[in-house]
Structure formats: structure tokens, C-alpha cells
Amino acid sequence: MDTAIDIVLKLVAITVAFTVVLLIVAYTVLAERRVLGLIQGRLGPNRVGYGGVLQPFADLLKFILKEDIVPDKSTRFIYFLAPVIATMAALMTMIVYPFGPEIAIPFTNITIPLTIARFDIGLLYVLGITSIGVYGIMLAGWSSNNKYSLMGGLRSSAQMISYELALGMSLIGVIMMAGTLDLGQVVENQSGWHGTHWYILFQPLGFVIYLIAAIAETNRVPFDLPEAETELVAGFHTEYSAMKFALFFLAEYINMFTVSMLATTLFFGGWNVPFLDLIFARGTFLFGLVSALGFVFKICVFLFIYIWLRGTLPRFRFDQLMNFGWKILLPLALLNIFITATLIYFFPNL
Amino acid sequence: MLVLLFILFAGLAIGCGLAVVAQRNPLYSAISLIGVFISLACLYVMLAAPFIAAVQVIVYAGAIMVLVVFVIMLLNVEQEERGRARLKFLVPTAVALSAILIAEVAFILVTVQEFRVNPSSAPSNVGLTHSIGTQLFTRYLLPFEITSILLLMAIVGAMTLARRGGLLSPNARVVPGAQVLPLSMVDPNAEPDDLTPVAADTSEEAARTLGVTKRD
């Protein structure tokens, strides 16, 4: 009986979390278009609803109603499978992140954790699922039977393999300081000094490497070579239309969201809002609520940085991309590990 | 519940494994192999070895198979042609080897049933991150380091084989795999903007074409 209640509770948690995340993602798309408009001195979409707030739903409706064209000589099964893999891999990492501390429901004595699943290899799980996500793009490029798509898929796989290394290496410093791979524990370790004991203070180099590698992993400007529109039409999703294209689009934005969550969790204290424990006692409902909102706020800052970069930077050339990843980022990440290990050896109490 | 999950993932692993061999299209085989690795990872999770499961997905499914798929896509390998099996001697070899394997499995099944022990009820910590890390960096440190040096040597070897253009000046920028280069890139004595194309697979060949002595 208890397991049945458990499963129902988990399903509810998954539904709530995914709905909230998808809503945020939908509004990220709108925010991107409005902010890009601001940067480029124009308005952006502002006609659907007040200031364009209903634009994401209009977009969704359009995606559903558009004709779905499947190229004649595509490899059917894989062509259909690719967007599914991309979206699923993007969504699956969501379950390990701690969205907030344990929260006490008012007027009852129930406390619920604001994490869907907590296990002691949380970070490895995230890295593993992320590395599966690349197949969505590769297979899409291959199965479309289009040379631009193929080029996009090849570029994407080369890019993701290269930057995955730097990404993983940049996280090792934090793991060494935290002494655990459990993301919930990592966040709790950062709650010292009234919630300001963030690992960014000790790992600035690791954070910069992570941020750059994460942008490359999500195929965003300035690393958006897999879909470079000036060379490859639209890269790996050239032949995709209607809802299948929307799934790739969605996967990209969910990935942006999850790497922002990981950055927040590992470097910026997760749900720890500075000095909040001086106002509300730990474990109360308001403490949990404000912490969760703080978590979302930090993610939104990262999402804004993504959009800002897109409006500011030009695209890399492919050889620059490879040289940068292998000859600069990876050695720097190794150096970061070395420095961190030395510091931990001499100051074990930091 | 656990038995049902085991049957599901074991079945998936076997099904995907069969598909790896049976598919004619190399890309389908590769995708099936990814399926095998992921099902195996799920089985590791059920065996309370989460670290091994995660590493299985990250290393095999996420890195090695990406390279395999990459190469298949890059070479654009067409569907394997049916008939005219050139390596005919492989068929009896395969039959003999699989017979030995089946005999081995049968032997293990029989012996294991003879010496059956009760599985201990205490949860094992063999597959946990902490225990693996401790063992790897204390008791098995030497094999661990030797393995990493072996891998490093393999990488250096592969790089050496891939970049056989020995005549290139140290600051030349070459696209890996390119065999046609402008003369100015190959010969340090040529005019800097000499774009005469030179095709060379080995440094000896390049040296002969250019009529220069090979630099070491």
C-alpha cells in the first residue's frame, strides 16, 4: 500500500515539475525573441495577448497545424525516432535536481522533498543522459538523406564529444570539494555561512569552463555550428517540419534550462538564498517557498545570459571550435583539478 | 516487481544483441548495440551497482558508440551486400566457437547448482562510487595507472598514424585526413604563397615528389 502511495506521489511530482519546467521553457522562447528585439533595436512579438504573453501558445498551435513533410528517401523509422530521443533525453535529467529544501505543508505535519528522485550518483546520471542526447541530433542528420543535415549531424557529434570532456572535467573540482555525487547533498553543503558558502567562490575557473562547455553542449551561439544557417540551411533539422521540428526546438531549450539548473546547483548554491535563514526558520513553509523561487530566479539569470550571448557574439569557425575545446578548455580544466586537489590537501576545512 | 524488470531488460538486451548481428545496415546494428548497453546499465542498477551503470552509459553508450556512429556516417557505409561471402572459413569457425561457449555455459550452470550458496541478505557495496574509488586508488593503484598509460600510448599511436606528413613545418595547420596540401605548407623552402597542390600519403612519398631530403 505504501509503495502505491509512493508511486502516485512521484507521478504527481513528475507532472507538476514537468509542467512548470515546460512553461518556463515556453516563456524562455518568448523572452528570447523579445530580448533579441531589444538588443537589435526592434520590438519582437508583442501582438498575441498583452505584450505577447500568449505567443508561446500561438506558436504551439501553429506547429501542430502545419503540414508534416517527410522526405521521400529518408530512413523512416530513425527519422521519427530522432526527435523523440532528443526530447526524452532532455527531459529525463530533470528528475534529480533539488528544486528546493524539504518543505513543510502548512496545517499538517507532512514534509515533502522538492526533488523527484534522489540517489547518490545524481551527477553521473545527468552526464550519462546528456551524452545520450547527442544521438537525437546525429540520427536526425543521417536519416534525413540530405547533405546539409548530414554535415550538421557530423559537426554536432564531433563538437559534443570534444566539449563533453571539458564539461565533465570542470565539474570534478566541485565534486572533490563536496565529496559526493548526490546533487541534494552538494546543495546542502553550500548552505553554510547563512546560505552564501557557494562553490563559485572556490571554483571560479571551473565555473567559467563549465559555462563555455555547456553552451557548446547545447549547440547555442557562439557554438551553433550544427545548425549554422549561413552554411547549412538549418543543419541537422533542415528536413524536419511541424511538430517534429518543434520537438528539436523544445529539446534545445530544455537543455538550456537543465545546464542552467546544473550550474546553479553546483556553483551557485542551488536553492540557498543568502541570509534567508535569518528571516524564516529552516524547514518552515515560507523558507522552502522562497528558496524554490530563488532557485528559479538563478536559473532565469543564466537563461538571460544565454539570450544575451546570442544577441552579442558571432559564430566560431569549426577549426577554432576544435582548437579551443582541446587545446585551451581541456588543459585549463585539468589545471583546475590540480589546483583544487592541492588546496584541499593543505586546507581540508575550507 | 524486480523479476519483471529483470525479464524486461534482459529480454531487451538479448533482442538488441540479436539485432546487432542480424541487421544488414551497419547503422542499425550500431543503434541496436546502444540498446544493449543501455539495457545492461539498467541491469547494473538492479544489481545495486549504480556507479557501474552510470559509467556504462557515459563511456560505452555516450562516447564509444558516438564515435562508431560518427565513423559510419562519415564513411557513409552502404547496406552490406548479400551473398558471395568472401570469408567462408568463418562459418565453421563460428559454429565451433559457439559450441564451446554453449558447453561452457552448461558446465557453469551444472557446477553452480551443485555448490549453491544462499545469497547474503546484507546489501553489498561493491558497485558504489565510494568503494570503487577507494579500491581503485589504494589497492589497485598500480594496475589503474598502468591502464591509463596504456590508453595514453594508444592515443599517441593513433595520432602518429593519422598525421604521417613528416615534412610539415611545426607551425603548419593541417586538416586531419587531408592529403592534398599546397606546396608552401609541405616544403619549408617554397615561396610562402605557393599554392601548387601536392598529394602525399607518406612523408617518403612527399619527399620524392618534391625532390627534397626528409626532415626528421
pLDDT digits (tens, 9 = 90+) for B192-210: 666 665 555 555 555 555 5
Provide, as residue numbers in chain A, all residues whose Cβ is less than 8 Å from the Cβ of B70: 138, 154, 157-158, 161
Residue B175 confidence (pLDDT) above 50: no
The three-state (H, E, C) secondary structure of chain B, written as one string: CHHHHHHHHHHHHHHHHHHHHHCCCHHHHHHHHHHHHHHHHHHHHHCCCHHHHHHHHHHHHHHHHHHHHHHHHHHCCCCCCCCCCCCCCHHHHHHHHHHHHHHHHHHHHHHHHHCCCCCCCCCCCCCCHHHHHHHHHCCCHHHHHHHHHHHHHHHHHHHHHHCCCCCCCCCCCCCCCCCEEEHHHHCCCCCCCCCCEEECCCHHHHHHHHCCCCCC
Instruction: Give the model's pLDDT for residue A131.
Output: 85
A337/A237: higher pLDDT: A337
Report CB contact under 8 Å: A128, B62: yes
Q: What is the pLDDT of residues A247-302, one digit of tens each?
A: 888 888 888 888 899 999 988 888 888 887 788 777 777 888 888 888 889 998 99
Print burial letters for B4-20: b (CB count within 10 Å at least 16), e (below 16): eeeeebeebbeebbebb
What one-letter code names the amino acid at A42? R
Q: Which residues make Cβ contacts (< 8 Å) with residue A95, sequence separation at least 6?
A: A14, A17, A116, A117
Instruction: Give the model's pLDDT for residue B109.
Output: 83
Provide, as residue numbers in chain B, all residues whose Cβ is less than 8 Å from the Cβ of A153: 73
Q: How confident is the model at residue B174 (pLDDT cuts 50, 70, 90)?
A: very low
Provide, as residue numbers in chain A, all residues whose Cβ is less than 8 Å from the Cβ of B66: 131, 134-135, 138, 157, 160-161
For A75, other C-beta atoms within 10 Å of its C-beta total 18
Closest-CA residue of chain A to B68: A157
Instruction: Give the model's pLDDT for residue B177.
Output: 46
Residue A307 confidence (pLDDT) above 70: yes
A231/A47: higher pLDDT: A47
Tell me the shortest Cα–Cα distance from A289 to chain B, in angstroms.
32
How far is the C-alpha of A40 from the C-alpha of B189, rounded, in Å?
50
Instruction: Give the model's pLDDT for residue A209.
Output: 92
Mean pLDDT confidence for A129-151: 84
Predicted structure pTM score: 0.80
How far is the C-alpha of B197 from the C-alpha of B210, rounded, in Å?
11
Mean pLDDT confidence for B106-112: 83
Report CB contact under 8 Å: B62, A120: no
Percent of chain A with pLDDT over 90: 5
Mapped onto helix, strand or coil, the DSSP state of residue A104 is strand
Instruction: Give the model's pLDDT for residue A210.
Output: 92
Tell me the shortest Cα–Cα distance from B118 to chain A, in angstroms.
27
- Residue showing cell 551473398: B83
Q: How confident is the model at residue B176 (pLDDT cuts 50, 70, 90)?
A: very low
Residue A105 confidence (pLDDT) above 60: yes
Instruction: Give the model's pLDDT for residue B216.
Output: 46
Mutate to test the interface with A, among B33, B66, B78, B128 (most CBs of A within 10 A): B66
Residue B78 confidence (pLDDT) above 70: no
Instruction: Give the model's pLDDT for residue B76.
Output: 67
Q: How confident is the model at residue B120 (pLDDT cuts 50, 70, 90)?
A: low
Mean pLDDT confidence for A320-348: 88
How far is the C-alpha of A62 from the C-alpha of A265, rounded, in Å?
35
Helices (H), chain A: 2-39, 55-65, 76-92, 122-143, 147-178, 183-189, 192-195, 204-217, 229-232, 242-267, 285-312, 318-323, 330-346
Instruction: Give the model's pLDDT for residue A325.
Output: 86
Q: How confident is the model at residue B189 (pLDDT cuts 50, 70, 90)?
A: low
Mean pLDDT confidence for A180-208: 84
Task: Say whether residue A135 is in contact with chain B using an 8 A CB cutoff.
Answer: yes
Of B57, B73, B175, the CB nearest to A138: B73
